[in-house]
Amino acid sequence: MKNIIFFFVGNEDSYRIRKLKESITQFNISFTLIDVELLSFNVADIATANFIKKDCENIGYFIGSFYKSNYIMEMFKDYIHFPQMPAWPLADKFNAAVFFQKHNIPTPVTTLIGTHDALPQAISSVGGFPCIIKRTMGSGGNFVEIVNAPKAITDFIQKISRNVTPKSIFPRSFSFVLQKPLIKSYGTDYRVLCIGAEVLGIIKRTAQDGSFKANISLGGKAEVVESIPEIEKMSKKIMQKSGLFMAGIDFIKNDNDYYAIEINTSPQIKGFEQVTNMNVTKKIIQELLKNKI
């Protein structure tokens, strides 16, 4: 008997969780929903955590908040199988850029920002202004801007740092990267949703307000793309080399070339499902129930 433990943060009524609960009723399995904000981490209680069913094969799956997941995976790895174990480092945008470079997957030039004194060198390394600044941890197109001067970089970092007010004891550490902009790609990107070795589909997202960001959560319009062999091939390579269970991989096109820009290790599925009419949550559960990866 398999028991799936879904870890999430704060909102049990979110679209992904509601769809998971609807889909899982089709399977004869037990499942538990755990809000990690409410989870006790007394080390003496780890082995006896009441949500772990000792007579089952326990499978842990995370919905969002990968800044917490490394703690949970480390603590419960002897009792719970986590198919998405490789997700923690690749949720970081700089780590993802290093991963792309290491595996010869085209990606924009990306530099980690160090000290203030090293800022001129970082700016130079991405070709000067304009450039894009990103927080290394973030999703939905948040914490990403085009900057045109050193002061804009420091203002962006200070603004983000001031606005971070943790609601829990978990640290929310992050850094920032600069990225060379591929101007011809502005306002359009491609989201490839993958589970294991399978590419579920591709959607093209287009900004509607003149923004360079095309995220659906920011008002972007989505449409199904039947096939783009180049990014399908890169997506399969990313999934194979990373060992990820699931990912939403984002690409941009500049002239005739495609570039990988981000690996979303806990992707939103609402926009994808609405455009493709695909039941993604059912596919997630089916894959979780297969033999251990």
Q: Where are the domains of the chain?
A: 2-84, 109-181
C-alpha to C-alpha distance for 101 and 107, rounded to whole angstroms: 7
d(CA 242, CA 45): 32
At 67 the pLDDT is 61
pLDDT at residue 199 greater than cutoff 90: yes
Residue 293 has pLDDT above 70, yes or no: no
Could you tell me which of 255, 260, 248 has the C-alpha nearest to residue 101?
A: 260
Whether residue 219 is predicted with pLDDT greater than 80 in this model: the reply is no
Cα separation, 33 vs 213, in Å, equals 33
| 109-181: CATH number | 3.30.1490.20
Q: Which segments of the chain does DSSP mark as H helices, in order?
A: 15-24, 66-76, 87-90, 93-102, 119-125, 150-163, 229-242, 270-276, 280-288
Residue with tokens 């948040």: 142
Top CATH class, 2-84 = alpha beta
Highest mean pLDDT among 25-34, 84-93, 177-186, 275-284: 275-284
Q: Which amino acid is at 9?
A: V
A 10 A CB-CB count for 28 gives: 7
Confidence check: pLDDT of 292 > 60: no
Alpha helices in 32-174 (DSSP H): 66-76, 87-90, 93-102, 119-125, 150-163
Sign of CA dihedral 218, 251, 193, 178: negative
What mean pLDDT is predicted for residues 127-155? 90
